[in-house]
Amino acid sequence: MLYLLVVIAGLPSAAQLIHWTFAVLIAALLADVMARRWNGPAGWLAAAAFLSAPTVFWLAGWAYVDLALAFYSLAACVALTSDHSQTIVMAGVMCGLAMATKYTAAPVALALAALAFRSKSARGLPGKLANVLRFVVVTGLVASPWYIKNWLTTGNPFYPFFFGGVFWDAWRGWWYGRWGTGLAFTAPWRLLTAPFEMTLMGIEGAPGFSVTTGPLLLALAPFVVLAWRSVDRARRRFIVDALMMCGIIYAAWLAQLAGSALLVQTRLLLPIFPLLAMLAAIGFDALRSLDWPQLSARRIVGALVALTLVLTWGGLAWDTLVSDRLQFLSGAQSQEDYLRAHLGAHDAAMQAVNALPPGSRVVFLWEPRSFYCRVECWPDSLLDRWWHLRRTIGSPDEIARTWQRQGVTHVLLYRAGYLAIIQEHFDPITADDQTALEALLSQRMRLVQDVGDAYRMYALNAGP
């Protein structure tokens, strides 16, 4: 809704600033909380550890939702680990905003409910249960407008889960979930090595975990065990609360990896990154217990941390300087030239679509992006359109007749994406599906434009 607001205002390129704002808010909250509850240097290190993950920088520049979810989760955790009863309400507000942001906030809500039960603001079982009830009620009230909107527009408050709804059926539900393709069914041992694999081998944009986390979060957080004997009860409780929340969210994430290959994504674990940053700062501070008169483990590790930060931030700064982003932001490069440089064939395809006669209706195949489309476009949001049509309608002729009845005039095929999916054998597109597609394109379609061999625009032939 925030992104929609700036788009309505005619400032679509400003949407990324909203996500950047959440990254800044997370860093600021980490610095403040750790400075007050631990010490000043721990606050700065927690913020730096969080921002040391390169993916955080890249993700902040997307008009996306994960950093908003991470901020709401952290803010709720901070509220619940304070000593004031009124913070239960604030935690519920933050959790409600998280639940209204993304469905993957469900494990976060479960972890926060556990913290509400543990909260020091109530004594005895009745008081703890009352805390949980208050938290759940506030969460539900804050999240309810979005679920009511779902219900009014799709017939299902939790669309598309549990109760289905418009444009949804069992075929699409299986495609979206792919239960049975996860690590538990293909490589169970990787469930044990997942934290190290995502840290050491995860690369943003690459197959697999597809996130570059950097080394600091996982390297420093385990040293938190050194702090246990040297801190008071309040700080111990803070450590336990952070660990418990991380553990619940991580267990839910691991269950998702186990079930579906589509969920082997570290990005879904982002809500615990700020918590790991706090634990990393505590762990680094606890290294002082290993100091000797002639040797300081904390100074040695501190030098390595500083080197890591310099290399990480220096690399990100260099990537920004050598790119053309600054030219665009300064006005030296037009938006058209910037989009052409970064979107390539997709920009050319959208121009071809927008050049169609008024009233055109274009179906996309294997192309989920339609933001720059100015005629009526039907994006292939789940990349399942052809697979779904084959199983619900069947033959190429019947599919063509269905499109004609729906007023479809053109089809935009993202051929490069289609061929990549076929070569990777990731999606269950069968040989018969491929043959049927070729028959549709050759017998019921007319090639209008070949856009750099990446896209092909077809006109739907009139027929019986």
Edge-first strand order for the sheet with 445-451 is 376-378, 361-365, 410-414, 455-460, 445-451
- pLDDT given at position 333: 82
What percentage of residues in the chain have a pLDDT greater than 70?
Answer: 97
Q: What is the pLDDT of residue 464?
A: 56
Residue 376 is predicted with a pLDDT of 96
Confidence of residue 315 (pLDDT cuts 50, 70, 90): confident
pLDDT level of residue 51 (50, 70, 90 thresholds) = very high
> Pick the residue with more confidence: 112 or 228?
112
Residue 296 phi/psi, 5-degree rounding, is -115, 110
pLDDT attached to residue 327: 79
- End-to-end alpha-carbon separation of the chain, Å? 43
Task: Please state the φ and ψ torsions of residue 461, each to the nearest 5 degrees.
Answer: -70, 140
Q: For the segment 255-283, what is each residue's pLDDT rounded down to a tens digit?
A: 998 999 888 888 888 999 999 999 999 99
pLDDT (tens digit, 9 = 90+) per residue, 216-228?
888 899 999 998 8
Q: pLDDT digits over 335-364, tens only? A: 888 888 888 899 999 999 999 999 999 999
Classify 178 as helix, strand or coil.
coil
Does residue 203 have a pLDDT over 70?
no
pTM above 0.95, yes or no: no
The proportion of the chain whose per-residue pLDDT surpasses 90, expressed as a percent, equals 60
Mean pLDDT score, 282-289: 91
Please give the pLDDT value at position 57.
87
Is 20:68 a contact under the CB 8 Å cutoff? no
pLDDT at 430 over 70: yes
- Write the DSSP assignment of 110-154 as a string of letters: HHHHHHHHH-TTS-HHHHHHHHHHHHHHHHHHHHHHHHHHHHHHH
Tokens encoding 409: 């005039």
Please give the pLDDT value at position 255.
92
pLDDT given for residue 452 in this prediction: 81
- Mean pLDDT (the chain) is 90
pLDDT value for 355: 95
**What are the pLDDT digits (tens) for 371-428?**
999 999 999 999 999 999 999 999 999 999 999 999 999 999 999 999 999 998 888 9
